[in-house]
Amino acid sequence: MILTVTLNTALDITYRVRSLRPHTSHRVTDVGERPGGKGVNVARVLAALGHEVTVTGFAGGATGRVVRDLLTDTAGVRDALVPVTGATRRTIAVVDERSGDTTQLNEPGPVIAPTEWDAFQDRYAELIASASAVALCGSLPPGVPVGAYAGLIRTARAAGVPVLLDTSGEPLRRGVAARPDIVKPNADELAELTGSHEPVRATQDARRRGARAVVASLGPAGLLAATPEGRWRATPPDRVHGNPTGAGDSAVAGLLSGLVEDLPWPDRLTRAVALSAATVLAPTAGEYDVRAYEDLHDQVRVTAEVSAA
């Protein structure tokens, strides 16, 4: 079982409009709802790849009930969310059908009480005992300690479970120091962590700070990986156009599934880039186009940066 942690779960709501214009009223042409938050998105892709996945984190209020109801309809995903008093946040995506652009509005999430955080840590310790790997993903809701991910990484390491961390800011800085197996920042997050805007140098620095492997997302340029086995760049065949929402989460699913399956790093990166590009091409934000993934998988280019890290 692969475990994904989403401390700031969400109900993702997508509105489609013909053309988004400020200061005017809009007629919505389509509305979609699905359970969201980075770890939930990762779990959905992992399940589609054939893995058994358990989702944990927090859920509360009427929105949290909707999230849990929708999770029951997600094949291959088990709900192990911890109930809280506050209401689960909503994220609103407004898609401009004319331009293809998406405007995102993200609520902050419920305030988590100390007793609720303690209850989550107890649930996490139970789940990690039967996990083959764990992904710690996304922002922290109010009330959760800034060093939360560092503590969760140490718990996983004590249980011998590999950890992938995908977050930003101070939670990323503290989490890296706890020595996760993989961190997956984007270029801006990596620069904020290391102070360097040169990706090769920044990935090296992030490894020195504690991460065993660093896989940096460079947007349309693909992924740059610095690992104990070597350094690679993985790029899609062409620049893909579409909605990038969830593309990074699909890359995380590719990396984590490759870890569990013990694939060589070039194969993990190929899968991650193909899934990410197929997510951009999908008609629904955060899903991936299966046919596009199959086509892209054979076209991703992986090149070695150096012979060893």
Cite the active site residues. 249
Beta strands in 61-185 (DSSP E): 77-79, 82-84, 89-96, 102-106, 133-137, 163-166, 182-183
CB 89, CB 140: distance < 8 Å: no
Residues 186 and 190: their CA atoms lie apart, in Å, by 6
* C-alpha atoms less than 13 angstroms from C-alpha of 82 in its C-beta half-sphere: 23
CB 246, CB 287: distance < 8 Å: yes
Residues 189 and 179: their CA atoms lie apart, in Å, by 17
Residues 243 and 240: their CA atoms lie apart, in Å, by 9
Residues 45 and 61: their CA atoms lie apart, in Å, by 26
Helix (H, G, I), strand (E, B) or coil at 222: coil
